Chains A and B, each alone.
Chain A
Amino acid sequence: MKKLMLIGLLVLFVTAVYSQDKKNTGQKLPSVEVRTLEGTMFNTAEISNDGKPVIICFWATWCKPCIKEHDAINDVYEDWVDETGVKLYSVSIDNSRSSSRVQPFVNGKGWEFDFLLDINGDFKRAMGVNVPPHTFILNGNNEIVWQHVGYLDGDEDEYIEIVEKLINGGDIK
């Protein structure tokens, strides 16, 4: 019974992969319940930016390169918003051990992004994130068009280049 079920699932996956190739649009964001810093529920399908690109960064308070990435973006974020109207959602995957540290941490750091808490990793799993930092860029139709794993100093320049291309209608592939 289990085997048949798995075969069924596999057929589904394979067929879907082939059918997907026909279109070259990005993937829609999954709809998963996460929390805001105030503790209220928030559905990830509601992530949007009035038709402008969105950056989603997965991170955790215990992840060194993630903090580096956030610091680096925070230094230039005001300019990014002024020039492109981009909006950054910062998704913390801290579990209940450290999730309550997130709010004082981000405020203490002076970061000014939109923060979400993915306490049991549901959004992380739905987005196929292995390890943070993992960064996604969404086009104005809320489709995932670009993603990147890890952070090295200077990576943030590539993020904004992609956003600029999206706004100017350039090819990002």
Chain B
Amino acid sequence: MKHKIFSPGLLLALSFLPLLSFSQSFLEGSQVTGNTQIDAQIYSEDSKLGITDSTLNYKKFGMNGFTNVRYTNGNFSAYMRVEGFLNPMIGYDNRYEGIGVPYWNVNYKIGNLEMTAGHFYEQFGSGLILRGWEEWTLGYDNNIYGFNAKYSPAKGVLIKGLVGVQRYFWEPYTPGSRGIIKGIDGDFYLNDMFGGMNDAKTKITLGGSFVSKYEKVPTMGFSRDSAYTVISGSDTSNWVRKTTYQYNLPHNVGSWAARMNLSNGGFSFYGEYAEKGNDPNATNNYIYLKGQALYSTVSYSRKGLGIFLSTKWINNMSYKSKLTESGNPPMLDINYLPAITKVHQYSFAAMYPYATQPNGEFGLQGEVIYTIPKKSKLGGKYGTTITVNYSMANSIKKEAISPEIPIDSTGTIGYKSNFFSLGDIPFYRDLSVKLEHKFNKTFKAKAVYYNQTYNKHVIEDEIYDKSELVYAHIGVLDMTYKFTRKKSLRVEMQGLWTKEDKGNWAAMTLEYNVAPKWSFAVMDEWNYGNENSNMKVHYYNVAIGYTEKTTRIAVRYGRQREGLLCVGGVCRYVPNSTGLTITLTSSF
């Protein structure tokens, strides 16, 4: 890298110094806040789970940690995050190993303009074409490094623009290493824009966005075999001709989205439609098809009743700032395709989670929450809450473009699919019914039943068939008893019954809490129904937590069960492990 005498960074750093030394008024309004989290694990060998020093790669200690610091003074703020993975804990990608500052920015506001330089997270609409976000527990971070501006030219109008490149582990950006993203978004709140609508009961917000990625594309080819027969005299011989073709990869891939939000009292509607241009990439097997997505939700609610329905249809919507990038953890995602299945809180209900299928899926979720009023016959003194939720995800219908070309053939348009079509491969089904009741001042309980269908091939192996479906019934009983105002005991019992996969499970948790500081827990998950009698494992854990205002220390010893950990439809595989885990979180 060339050293310029007047680099912007140097100028910026220099400009702070006189401010700091001489301007007392600048310091008077200064504020610093921040937070830290450190997770450390010490692993042990465990013959029952087949864990030895060599399967651990002799990494007997893992630590993931970060510290955020935010400085503000009036309209100016600066932010930085130090991250360290020394070594990354089990289940996190080894490319994270290291320590550094993957996220920092400076930000100021002048009137209706807000500027950010450095790293930032931004979201357009529901994120169908652009969303920068991070999720620590997943090891997911696709922050954008560049410039971001937000400007409100008139009341009710917000325009956002950005240019930047995305994070890829610790690898610094170099020309050609990944694409450059540009985007613009507008949000128009009609009731504020037009005086006559100020007092209207119906509130309407319209929005639209455009995103484009430029990438210096590689020269890549593929080959296709064609069979032919040669007959000479009485001899017949079969031959295969291998022809090599070059992909015609676009340097620029654009996408756009339009959205609408409408609300009237307890009624609310949100709809967003997005399209993406021709974008052959590793996820879609390099086909030239355009992408399409629709996401909408309708809800109605009043006190004590909430009803909600959400639908989604996506077709070929993987959108990354590097076309050859694929695999896990997902990196360089420009957009975000939310899984619309429900996020579950109990461990067995989350054992078979759903992960978004960007190449095509239809999804639907409906929920009703009803609270039987307090002091009624059924509701009792405190009321009873009933929640019923159903969600499903299916394939979309894909048709071959011609009889000779199989669906998804690389270097072709891939397939045809009618908008909002529904395919016949079930990806996921989930029905749950939850009852919550507070019996008296000291005792409350929750009971939940789940019925799930999980397409293991699709969700774990990206094999699109229905030959490995897991059908599971799950029951949970969660009770809390308060001995005194500060002391309570929570008992949680769970059962999972299935004939597939690893068979039946049972679990129990006892948690004794002394508010506001102490928490003690013992838990065990037992795979008693495993067909392999050696694998009828107890995943036991003991844990102690201590909280002092904003600092929390938790120590846990035991076995971590392997499985998919998912947040927002993005999943991380967590392998089996045994050992001691220490978590420290703190804010200042």
Chain A residues within CB distance 8 Å of chain B = 1-2, 4-9, 11-13, 15-17, 19-20, 27-28, 30-31, 33, 37-41, 61-64, 75, 95-98, 100-101, 103-110, 119-122, 125-131, 134, 146-150, 152-155, 157-158
List residues of chain B with CB within 8 A of the CB of A31. Answer: 109
Shortest Cβ distance from A93 into chain B, in angstroms?
A: 11
Set B121, B297, B550: member contacting A121, Cβ < 8 A: B121
B133 adjacent to A128 (CB under 8 Å): no
- List 5 extra interface pairs beyond A33-B158, A152-B513, CB under 8 A: A11-B13, A61-B343, A107-B303, A109-B371, A109-B385
Bound CA–CA A6/B109 (angstroms): 21
A96 adjacent to B587 (CB under 8 Å): no
A38 adjacent to B308 (CB under 8 Å): no
B569 adjacent to A97 (CB under 8 Å): yes
Chain B residues within CB distance 8 Å of chain A = 1, 4, 7-10, 12-14, 16-17, 20, 27-28, 30-35, 37, 68-73, 77-80, 101, 104, 106, 109, 121-123, 125-127, 131-133, 136, 150, 158, 187, 189, 191-192, 203, 205, 261, 263, 266, 268, 270, 297, 299-308, 310, 336, 338-340, 343-345, 367-371, 382-383, 385, 387, 438, 480, 482, 485-488, 490, 513-516, 519, 545, 547, 549-552, 568-569, 585, 587-588
A4 adjacent to B7 (CB under 8 Å): yes
Q: List 9 A-B contacts (CB under 8 A).
A: A1-B4, A15-B20, A39-B261, A40-B189, A41-B187, A101-B308, A105-B308, A108-B301, A109-B369
B585 adjacent to A130 (CB under 8 Å): yes
B32 adjacent to A104 (CB under 8 Å): no
Set A37, A127, A155: member contacting B33, Cβ < 8 A: A127
B569 adjacent to A103 (CB under 8 Å): no
A128 adjacent to B304 (CB under 8 Å): no
A108 adjacent to B370 (CB under 8 Å): yes
List residues of chain B with CB within 8 A of the CB of A30. Answer: 70, 72, 77
Q: What's the count of A-B pairs with C-beta under 8 Å?
A: 251
Measured CB to CB, the nearest residue on chain B to A2 is B9
Bound CA–CA A15/B32 (angstroms): 10
Most chain B beta-carbon neighbours within 10 Å: one of A8, A108, A109: A108
Measured CB to CB, the nearest residue on chain B to A19 is B27
B516 adjacent to A152 (CB under 8 Å): yes
Bound CA–CA A134/B585 (angstroms): 12
A149 in contact with B13 given A104-B369, A154-B486 (CB within 8 Å)? no
A19 adjacent to B28 (CB under 8 Å): yes
List residues of chain B with CB within 8 A of the CB of A38. Answer: 203, 263, 268
B261 adjacent to A120 (CB under 8 Å): no
A12 adjacent to B78 (CB under 8 Å): yes
List residues of chain B with CB within 8 A of the CB of A75. Answer: 382, 438
Measured CB to CB, the nearest residue on chain A to B19 is A12
B7 adjacent to A1 (CB under 8 Å): yes
Bound CA–CA A134/B367 (angstroms): 27
Bound CA–CA A146/B201 (angstroms): 38
Set A4, A39, A127: member contacting B263, Cβ < 8 A: A39
Bound CA–CA A64/B340 (angstroms): 19
B345 adjacent to A64 (CB under 8 Å): yes
Bound CA–CA A28/B305 (angstroms): 37
List residues of chain B with CB within 8 A of the CB of A27. Answer: 31, 33
Bound CA–CA A146/B549 (angstroms): 8
Measured CB to CB, the nearest residue on chain B to A154 is B515
B516 adjacent to A8 (CB under 8 Å): no
Bound CA–CA A20/B266 (angstroms): 45
Shortest Cβ distance from B2 into chain A, in angstroms?
A: 10
B268 adjacent to A39 (CB under 8 Å): yes
A15 adjacent to B13 (CB under 8 Å): no
Most chain A beta-carbon neighbours within 10 Å: one of B205, B307, B514, B516: B516
Most chain A beta-carbon neighbours within 10 Å: one of B16, B132, B306, B382: B306
Bound CA–CA A46/B416 (angstroms): 50
B371 adjacent to A110 (CB under 8 Å): yes
List residues of chain A with CB within 8 A of the CB of B122. Answer: 120
A155 in contact with B515 given A64-B345, A149-B552 (CB within 8 Å)? yes
Bound CA–CA A104/B109 (angstroms): 35
A1 adjacent to B8 (CB under 8 Å): yes
Shortest Cβ distance from B235 into chain A, in angstroms?
A: 64
Shortest Cβ distance from B446 into chain A, in angstroms?
A: 10
Measured CB to CB, the nearest residue on chain B to A150 is B547
Measured CB to CB, the nearest residue on chain B to A120 is B123
Bound CA–CA A128/B14 (angstroms): 28
A154 adjacent to B488 (CB under 8 Å): yes
List residues of chain B with CB within 8 A of the CB of A153. Answer: 480, 482, 488, 490, 513, 515
- Across the A-B interface, the 4 shortest Cβ-Cβ residue pairs: A108-B369, A104-B306, A8-B13, A108-B306
A155 adjacent to B27 (CB under 8 Å): no
Bound CA–CA A74/B480 (angstroms): 17
List residues of chain A with CB within 8 A of the CB of B17. Answer: 8, 11
Bound CA–CA A123/B275 (angstroms): 30
A108 in contact with B345 given A12-B71, A148-B549 (CB within 8 Å)? no
Bound CA–CA A105/B300 (angstroms): 10
A130 adjacent to B9 (CB under 8 Å): no
List residues of chain A with CB within 8 A of the CB of B101. Answer: 6
Bound CA–CA A43/B266 (angstroms): 23
A107 adjacent to B306 (CB under 8 Å): yes
A39 adjacent to B203 (CB under 8 Å): yes
Shortest Cβ distance from A138 into chain B, in angstroms?
A: 14
Measured CB to CB, the nearest residue on chain A to B21 is A15
Shortest Cβ distance from B554 into chain A, in angstroms?
A: 9
B306 adjacent to A105 (CB under 8 Å): yes
B371 adjacent to A122 (CB under 8 Å): no
